[in-house]
Amino acid sequence: MTAVSPNRTVPDLLDINGDRLWSSLMELAQVGSYEDSETGLVGVNRQSLTDADAEGRNLLVGWMESAGLDVCIDEMGTIFGRREGLDPTLRPVVAGSHIDSVGTAGAFDGCLGVLGALEIVRSLNDQGMRTRRPLVIAAWTEEEGVRFGTDMLGSAVAAGRLTLDYAYDLVDAEGLRFGDELDRIGFKGTQPVVLEPPHAYVECHIEQGPVLLRDDVAIGIVTGVQSISWQKVILHGRAAHAGTTPTELRVDAGLAAAQIVVKVREMVDSGSYGRLRATVGHIATSPGLPSVVPDRAELTVDLRNPDDEQMAAAERDFAAFLDTLPELQPCSGLKVATKRMAKTSHVPFDHRVQDVIAKAAADLGHQPVTLMSGAGHDAQEMAAIAPTAMVFVRGQHDGISHNPREYSTPDDCAAGITVLANTLLRLSDESADESHDELTEPLTDETDDV
């Protein structure tokens, strides 16, 4: 196993065991499973730091140890499993994702990336292969953010964007503290949480969208995570009797909400903001009676854009529209307030890591498409400290996710993990003199490593 650039000798293509991967995915999906009353399907509810999460974590740690990995838990409860490299002084290649879930999940979101990396280690073991750099599997804590309200929590603290104190003091809906719950389930580790930047980070994840299915390809290479803006808009009008109040005297908060929903779709359709996506997921009126003009309406506006400047333009124009909204009513008195819920900039992934994925995929006979991730992932946190990219795997049923109907076929899961495997092999075979333009800090400690 040698690596010489530019005439690289790639390692033999690693085959993984798709059946074993599938079997592990299905076994983990039993932990926290429930029967979904709407679909009749078995779903997964394994929210972070619950008993179910602890059971899932213990299953994973057992599997890691059986695969000969050196398991460490950091102060955020993130689980790392290290397979030593031929040169232990080289920075490792990290592959990971998460095993916590939303309340109504399927078997694949996050788990594919973690159990896929585990399957790669098992296959390396089966085939007696060793890599030059260490390989590390990471299972990040609280990626979903549904229990404690901040997503990508473990990776964000590891990357230094959030502090440990911030994370520990988060509370769930019942007032339970993150730090206490981490302690309670026995996963408050001692490894310092701020991660030493790895050589590279690669995450395999289900797409959670319909693009790969529509384009009839199993594999996607992710170019980055788009900018995300969440805000809540609260409208105060004036309650009035539906039968007795002339239209010209109405300040209808529900109508104003509807005007916003229609407007944001018009903004998307206008093409003026590049690849803007806009979603109003939540609309509610109060008092919510058929015969009362709503005095209050609330809605959420989710804007996404792969381009930060076009995102800024969309946000600016949307704010300007909100300013004019009272004038669109027949009668003065509408009050408009906004509350910022979340805002992240576009995170571009490392071009060279994308190239390595592309070559691995091509060698395996795939013709992957490149696409932007619409959803947030731990990879966007790792991108701040290491060359990072992602592999997406096609989902069925329009790519539905966060739902028991979430499904990727065994073949597609195996295809994605095989691409990940061969990507990791190439990256782990790299010496320190190969260029890493995108690294946030030069890998000066690796200059003696040839």
In the complex, the residues that contact a second copy under the rule CB under 8 A are 207-211, 214, 226, 228, 230, 238-247, 249, 252, 254-255, 257-262, 265, 268-269, 277, 279-285, 287-294, 297, 300, 302, 304, 341, 373-376, 398-403
- Least Cβ distance, residue 155 to a second copy (angstroms): 17
- Least Cβ distance, residue 102 to a second copy (angstroms): 9
Closer residue to a second copy (CB): 235 or 421 = 235
Closer residue to a second copy (CB): 9 or 340 = 340
The three-state DSSP-derived secondary structure of 300-315 is EEEEEECCHHHHHHHH
Closer residue to a second copy (CB): 243 or 442 = 243
- Least Cβ distance, residue 140 to a second copy (angstroms): 19
Closer residue to a second copy (CB): 51 or 215 = 215
- Least Cβ distance, residue 243 to a second copy (angstroms): 3
Closer residue to a second copy (CB): 189 or 254 = 254
- Least Cβ distance, residue 210 to a second copy (angstroms): 5
Closer residue to a second copy (CB): 356 or 371 = 371
> What is the pairing mode between strands 135-140 and 93-98?
parallel
- Least Cβ distance, residue 408 to a second copy (angstroms): 14
Closer residue to a second copy (CB): 210 or 410 = 210
Contact 323, 329 (CB under 8 A): no
- Least Cβ distance, residue 100 to a second copy (angstroms): 16
Residue type (1 letter), 369: V
The three-state DSSP-derived secondary structure of the chain is CCCCCCCCCCCCCCCCCHHHHHHHHHHHHCCCEEECCCCCCEEECCCCCCHHHHHHHHHHHHHHHHCCCEEEEECCCCEEEEECCCCCCCCCEEEEEECCCCCCECCCCCHHHHHHHHHHHHHHHHCCCCCCCCEEEEEECCCCCCCCCCCCHHHHHHCCCCCHHHHHCCECCCCCEHHHHHHHCCCCCCECCCCCCCCEEEEEEECCCCHHHHHCCCEEEEEEECEEEEEEEEEECCCEECCCCCHHHCCCHHHHHHHHHHHHHHHHHHCCCCCCEEECCCEEEECCCCCEECCEEEEEEEEEECCHHHHHHHHHHHHHHHHHHHHHCCCCCCEEEEEEEEEECCEECCHHHHHHHHHHHHHCCCCCEEEEECCCCHHHHHCCCCCEEEEEECCCHHHCCCCCCCCCCHHHHHHHHHHHHHHHHHHHCCCCCCCCCCCCCCCHHHCCCC
- Least Cβ distance, residue 255 to a second copy (angstroms): 6
Q: How far is residue 264's CA from residue 386's CA, in Å, rounded to a whole number? A: 36
- Least Cβ distance, residue 225 to a second copy (angstroms): 9
Closer residue to a second copy (CB): 72 or 239 = 239
| Alpha-carbon separation of residue 60 from 18, 97, 161, 329, 392 (angstroms) | 18, 13, 27, 57, 22
Closer residue to a second copy (CB): 295 or 446 = 295
- Least Cβ distance, residue 380 to a second copy (angstroms): 12
How many other CB atoms are found less than 10 A from the CB of residue 359?
Answer: 15
Closer residue to a second copy (CB): 87 or 302 = 302
- Least Cβ distance, residue 258 to a second copy (angstroms): 3
Closer residue to a second copy (CB): 242 or 337 = 242
